[in-house]
Amino acid sequence: MEHYKMNLTLKVWRQRNSKDNGSFETYAVKDISSEMSFLEMFDVLNEQLITEGKDPIAFDHDCREGICGACSMHINGKPHGPWSQNTTCQLHMRAFKDGDTVVVEPWRSRAFPVLKDLMVDRQAFDRIIQAGGYISVNTGNAVDANALPIDKRDADDSFAAAACIGCGACVAACPNGSAMLYVSAKVSQLALLPQGAPERKTRAMNMVAQMDKEGFGNCTNVYACEAECPKGISVANIARMNREYITASLSADPE
């Protein structure tokens, strides 16, 4: 693959804290290798800023392997940038051309307040999981793989839903700031397996209630969430969660 250098103009959102209004600042970066990752390019920019005695840009990252979902950046109007089913840390600079202007923002959602610059507080997702994204099982020795026969289709669907890394791209892509794809993936991965049966009647109701409490918007079937999800989580999970919710609601004990 041909390697080449490029010069870019970056318009980056800078915000000191959640109470600051924030604004875009423009930076020039030069001699960026086409084979750098997007985060490596930001490392170069931050080294440049530190050398100039300026405050480096705060951004989230951890594994840099597309596993953790921490590298949440809104790049040129798309969560995680122009490549499909790709996280920011997996995005390489060959996705851009010499002389391009690249606009980088944090996730935009009332439920994801900006902490600083490109970092947002995604603890709302953690609280949704705490509300019902767990199972009651014996945590002793692992049982034999064939002890609980599971239909192959259910196992595959559960595995696909469990691929969700909780990055929040679905929320950032949705015009309503809805977290339905995330919540439905977490509900589905447990609802499809027998291990998830003990909490089945309360899981969807509790997690949806917490989602609403956190201030996420409603789903209006735009499907931007699936289109921008780095792991290709299907909106079919939303339909499954709706069925789980309705079934639980109808079987709930009257007060």
Q: What percent of the chain has pLDDT over 90?
A: 87
**Structure tokens that stand for 242 in this block:** 């709706």
Residue appearing with tokens 């800023």: 49
Sketch out the chain's domains with CATH numbers. Answer: 5-115 (3.10.20.30), 123-251 (1.10.1060.10)
Rounded CA-CA distance 105/116 in Å is: 11
Q: What's the pTM value of the predicted model, to 2 decimals?
A: 0.93
Q: Which amino acid is at 171?
A: V
Question: What mean pLDDT is reported for the chain?
Answer: 94
pLDDT band at 222 (very low <50, low <70, confident <90, very high): very high
Cα–Cα dist 57/15, whole Å: 9
Is pLDDT of 252 > 90?
no
From CA 227, how far away is CA 86, in angstroms rounded? Answer: 11
- Rounded mean pLDDT of 113-122? 97
